[in-house]
Amino acid sequence: MKKTFTLVTALFFSAILFAQSKLSISASGNADIRVMVDGVKYTANGRDIVINNLKNGNHTVKIFRAGNDRNRYNGNNRGNGYQLVYNNNLFVKPQYHVDIAINRFGKAFVDEQMISGGYNNEDDDDWGVDNNDQYYDRGGTRAMDNNSFQQLKKSIANESYESTKLKVSKQFVSVNYFNATQVKELLALFSYEDSKLELAKYAYDYTVDKGNYFVVNEAFSYSSSKESLMDYIKNRQ
Task: Name beta bridge partners: 33.
Answer: 65
How far apart are the C-alpha atoms of 94 and 58, rounded to whole Å?
11
Q: What is the domain partition of the chain in residue ranges?
A: 21-114, 138-236
How far apart are the C-alpha atoms of 168 and 61, rounded to whole Å?
29
Using the Cα atoms of residue 201, residue 168, residue 159 and residue 14 in order, give the sign of their dihedral: positive
Encode pLDDT of 78-109 as tens digits: 444 788 988 988 878 778 888 888 888 888 88
Position 199 scores a pLDDT of 97
Q: Looking at residue 213, what DSSP letter applies?
A: G
Average pLDDT over residues 125-146: 49
Encode pLDDT of 33-49 as tens digits: 889 998 888 877 656 88
User: Is the pLDDT assigned to residue 21 strictly greater than 60?
Assistant: yes
Average pLDDT over residues 161-175: 89
For the chain, the average pLDDT equals 77
Average pLDDT over residues 156-172: 90
H helix runs in the chain, sequence order: 2-17, 146-157, 162-173, 180-187, 193-203, 223-236
Nearest to 32 by CA among 5, 4, 65: 65
CB crowding 114-131: b at 16 or more within 10 Å, else e: beebebbeeeeeebbeee
Q: Please state which CATH number belongs to domain 21-114.
A: 2.60.40
Position 72 scores a pLDDT of 46
142 vs 160, which has greater pLDDT?
A: 160
Average pLDDT over residues 216-230: 95
The strand pair at 81-92 and 57-67 is best described as antiparallel
Position 144 scores a pLDDT of 82
Encode pLDDT of 192-208 as tens digits: 999 999 999 999 988 98
How far apart are the C-alpha atoms of 85 and 37, rounded to whole Å?
14
How far apart are the C-alpha atoms of 112 and 114, rounded to whole Å?
7
